[in-house]
């Protein structure tokens, strides 16, 4: 414990910098994945035949071991933050895509019928009915992905993308436990923090009528 404290005092500036890099890698990847997977999920919810093949294809990415995926990036995109973000984004696509698709398709068909019959355009149906009701499910996917991406960003160090993984591998090469911990603890803290933040955000965004489990519009 004492050792950890001295290591922290000696290298807190590096720690701060690496934490910033780590947050940057994770945040950009998750945001990119959302920007791709949510609209794609919405699109696929109205093209069910295409949906099957796209979702299967995207889920194949999930089966590639993460270390190998980062390795594949080197011949394609070289090293540094860019290929790392690319790999992290690829990994993040599936849960968001799947949850968006399932969330939107899970909306009670009676609500779609009512919305259409009352004169909503397709667009209005999406914004007024489908997305607000599916949001809880979509957000669950985003939360999962945020957690997964923060832990996985640790591996980005192997392709020289920075982040807290740098400190951990440094500690490993020196066989210095305090240094390893100095890198690992912030990763865990980040995961816990983002989880609480997103849960809170979700609670805050969820309209009162949907906060009850049984009324999520999915019968």
Partner 1 sequence: MSQAAVEFQQVTKNYGSGNVLENFNLVIPKEKIVTIIGPSGCGKTTLLKMINRLIEPEAGSVLLGQQDIGELNPVELRRSIGYVIQQIGLFPHMTVEQNISIVPRLKGEKKEHLVARTAELLQLIGLEPEQYRGRYPHELSGGQQQRIGVARALAANPSIILMDEPFSALDPISRVQLQKELIKLNEQVRKTIVFVTHDIDEALKIADIVVLLKGGQVIQQGSPKELLERPAHEFVREFLGQERFQLAYSI
Tell me if 210 contacts partner 1 by CB under 8 A.
Answer: yes
Scan for tokens 């933040």, then name that residue: 197
With beta carbons less than 8 A apart as the criterion, state whether 80 and 160 touch: yes
Burial 99-132 (b: 16+ CB within 10 A, else e): bbbbbbbbbeeebeeebeeeebeeeebbeebbbb
CB of 38 to partner 1, least distance (A): 18
Of the pair 80, 132, the CB lying nearest partner 1 is at 132
Q: Report angle CA 137, 138, 141 to the nearest 5 degrees.
A: 95
CB of 126 to partner 1, least distance (A): 13
Q: What is the Cα 33 distance to its own chain's centre?
A: 7
Rounded CA separation 87/103 (Å): 25
What track of x and - describes contact with partner 1 for positions 50 through 89 (by CB under 8 A)? ----------------------------------------
Number of residues that bind partner 1 (CB under 8 A): 26
Tell me if 140 contacts partner 1 by CB under 8 A.
Answer: no
CB of 46 to partner 1, least distance (A): 17
Site residues (CB under 8 A) for partner 1, limited to 108-137:
108, 110-111, 113-121, 124, 128-129, 132-133
Q: Is 196 exposed, middle or buried (0-12, 13-18, 19+ CB in 10 A)?
A: exposed
Tell me if 207 contacts partner 1 by CB under 8 A.
Answer: yes
Point out which residues bind partner 1 (CB under 8 A).
108, 110-111, 113-121, 124, 128-129, 132-133, 207-210, 212, 214-217
């Amino acid at each position: 414990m004492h050792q950890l404290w001295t290591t922290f005092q000696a290298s807190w500036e590096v720690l701060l910098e690496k934490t910033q890099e780590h947050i940057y890698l994770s945040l950009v990847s998750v945001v990119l994945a959302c920007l791709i997977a949510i609209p794609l999920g919405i699109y696929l919810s109205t093209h069910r035949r295409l949906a099957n093949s796209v979702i299967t294809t995207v889920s194949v990415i999930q089966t590639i071991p993460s270390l190998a995926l980062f390795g594949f990036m080197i011949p394609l995109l070289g090293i540094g933050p860019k290929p790392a973000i690319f790999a992290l984004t690829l990994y993040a696509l599936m849960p968001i895509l799947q949850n968006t698709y399932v969330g939107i398709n899970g909306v009670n068909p009676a609500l779609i019928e009512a919305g259409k019959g009352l004169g909503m355009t397709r667009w209005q149906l999406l914004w007024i009915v489908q997305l607000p009701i599916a949001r809880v499910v979509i957000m669950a996917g985003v939360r999962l992905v945020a957690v997964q991406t923060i832990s996985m960003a640790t591996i980005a160090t192997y392709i020289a993308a920075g982040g807290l993984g740098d400190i951990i591998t440094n500690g490993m090469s020196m066989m210095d436990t305090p240094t390893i911990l100095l890198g690992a603890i912030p990763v865990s803290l980040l995961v816990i923090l983002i989880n609480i933040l997103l849960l809170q955000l979700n609670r805050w965004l969820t309209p009162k009528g949907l906060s009850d489990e049984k009324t999520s519009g999915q019968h």
